[in-house]
Copies of this chain bind each other. A is one copy, B any other.
Amino acid sequence: MRMSELSRRSGVSVTTIKYYLREGLLPTGRQTAATQAEYDEQHLRRLRLIRALTGVRGLSVSATREVLDALGEHDGDTHRLLGLALGTIRLPADTAQDAPETAEVDALVKELGWQVHQNAPARGTLAETITSLRSLGVPLDWHTLLPYARLAERTATLDLDQLDGIEDPLEAAERALLLTVLLEPALMALRRMAQENESAHRHAG
C-alpha cells in the first residue's frame, strides 16, 4: 500500500509516519519510484505497536526505539527473547540501581527463590520504592512485600499462559511485551477498584 493508505488504516498522520521513518522506528518501505514506496501489513502492525507504546504508556520515542530494537535483535533463543521483552527492558518507572535498599530486594528474591538477573531494572525500582516509603514514615521491608510478591508470581503465571500456543518466538515476544507494558495500567486500575470495593465492605454502615 502507499503511505496515504497506511496513514488512513493506522490513523497516524503522514507527517508522523515520516517522523517515525526518519527516527528509525518504522522500517522503510519497498522503493517503487524515486519518491514512492510500498508498505505492507508488517508496517501497519508496527505502527500500531508504536502508537500503543507512545500513547497508552507514554513512552518517549527513544524508549520506544529501545524496546523495538530489543525485539529485533533476537537470536532464536526463546527465553532470552522473552527475557528481553519481559524483564530487562528499561522503562520510565525503572530507576537507578544505587538505592540503599538493594539488600532488602536481595533478601526478598532469595526468600522467593526467584531467578532474576542481578541487573534487572525492576530491582532498582523496588529498592527505590522502599527508600521512598520509609522516608515518609511507612515501615516497609521485604517481609511486607513477600505476600505481594506471591501474588505477582500468580499474575506472571497468567501472563505467560497467554503466550501458550504462539509458535513463532518473535510473535511470542511481541505479545509478551504488549501484555507486560500495556496491561500495567489495567492491573493498577483493577487494584484501585478492588481497594474501593474492599474499603466499602470494611466501612459499611
Contacts and interface: CB of A to CB of B under 8 A. Distances in A.
Interface in A146-205: 147-149, 151-160, 162, 175-176, 178-180, 182-204
Given A135-B52, A155-B148, A125 B189 contact: yes
A59 interface: no
A56 B109 contact: no
Contacts of A156: 191, 194-195, 197-198
Interface in A104-119: 109, 112, 114-117
Number of this chain's copies in the complex: 2
- Majority SS of interface residues in chain A? helix
Contacts of A202: 79, 160
A137 B149 CA distance: 30
A87 interface: yes
Contact of A128 (B56, B92, B179): B56
A202 B189 CA distance: 29
B136 A93 contact: no
A126 B186 contact: yes
Interface of A: 45, 48-49, 52, 55-56, 58, 78-79, 82-83, 86-88, 92-94, 109, 112, 114-117, 120, 122-123, 125-126, 128-130, 132-133, 135-138, 144-145, 147-149, 151-160, 162, 175-176, 178-180, 182-204
